[in-house]
Structure 1
């Protein structure tokens, strides 16, 4: 969502912010197929998982930092 992606399906285009409705749920309709995902490639990026649970190997907090066209974004 931070990349302001656009999801292209066989019938429409959906902003990433509207595509994800919640945990394990999307706005895809019955029979709709994702054909492409469009986004601008960042000049620089970094992702950190803080702290990682050694037993389950999932992040408690994830942080993404992007630099797109001299604009820094943090999520």
Structure 2
């Protein structure tokens, strides 16, 4: 099985590759994270590449863009 050459950075959004602002990945309590105050659509989470799921969080900008555009591509 080929190994993945993608380096996963938990501080970067897996969709836009910009800082995701994840408090938990930065070593803070998860309760301090921006994502605790809003709902992240399952359709958006499904766009995260398989190898990055549960390893890097989507950023607030991608969530807001998805919500503004609906199911269109972010």
TM-score, normalization: structure 1? 0.27
The structure with the largest helix share of the pair is 2
Whose RCO is larger (CA < 8 A, sep 6+)? 2
**Structure with higher strand content:** 1
Higher CA-based Rg: 1
